[in-house]
Structure formats: structure tokens, C-alpha cells
Amino acid sequence: MELTEGQFQRIADCLPRQRGNVGMTNLQLLNALLYVVEHGCKWRGLPKHFGNWHTIYTRLNRWSKAGVLDRVFAQLQEEQILAIHIEHVCLDSTTIKAHPDGTGALKKRPPGHWPFPGRMHRQKSSGCRE
């Protein structure tokens, strides 16, 4: 889903005013956000026609912390541009890789197995060699 210029004008009052020489309009930014939400892709997976993914992520992160996105989605609901109920929007692309030992797999060797048999017999209880 992409917002048209007419739909954007109905919600433009809840967005911050753009100042300075900005290369990306708020409409382009919202369309990029809706693309990520709709397709579930990572930020880096945004098509090139939306612009630099890092610029989009940075501005949307600032808007999220300032409460702008809450106002935008509430206005989209009120204007009946989006006909879904949104309670939480979470955009995250974190992946955690675990080492195979950290997955809880059974060990191949029995617990009493030592690679050097008899080594412990030559040590005192303090751990020093005799």
C-alpha cells in the first residue's frame, strides 16, 4: 500500500514540518514505512526507489521516540485510510546466532572421559603436579 498525495494531505498536519534542504519528503518516508510493515522486510531490503534505507530508519526512529508515529497511525485510522487496528508497531531485524554448543545438544563424550588418561592421578588435590 502506498499513500497518494490526497491521502497524505489529510494527515500532513500531524507530521513535523520539513526544514532545510531535505532530499526525501515525508510522503516518501511514510510510503517506505508502509512497505516495510506490509512486506516484513529488513531496512536494508527496501527497494532503491524509496531512497537510502539508513536515512529512512534514522528519521523514523526519531519520530517513534517523539511520538509522531503514534499520531500518524491514529490519524490514518481516523481518516479511514488504513482500516486495521494497530496497537503496537515493532520494526526489528535483529538476528542472534548461537554456537552449536549453546543449543542444548547432548555431548558426544561421557562426563567422566578425559582426553589424557591418568593425568589427574599425577596431580595433588591442590592441582599441583607431583
Are 46 and 53 spatial neighbours (Cβ–Cβ below 8 Å)? yes
Per-residue DSSP letters for 12-74? GGGSPPP-SS-SS-HHHHHHHHHHHHHH---GGGS-GGG--HHHHHHHHHHHHHHTHHHHHHH
Give the pLDDT confidence score for residue 119 in this predicted structure: 54
Domain boundaries in the chain? 5-78
The whole-number average pLDDT for the span 99-115 is 63
The pLDDT assigned to 115 comes to: 62
pLDDT of residue 94: 64
* Listed residue (48, 17, 15) closest to 32, CA to CA: 48
What is the per-residue pLDDT across 46-65, written as a single tens digit (0 to 9) for each?
Answer: 888 888 889 889 888 988 89
> Global pTM?
0.58
Nearest to 27 by CA among 3, 61, 48, 47: 3
Least confident range from 39-48, 51-60, 109-118: namely 109-118
Give the pLDDT confidence score for residue 90 in this predicted structure. Answer: 65
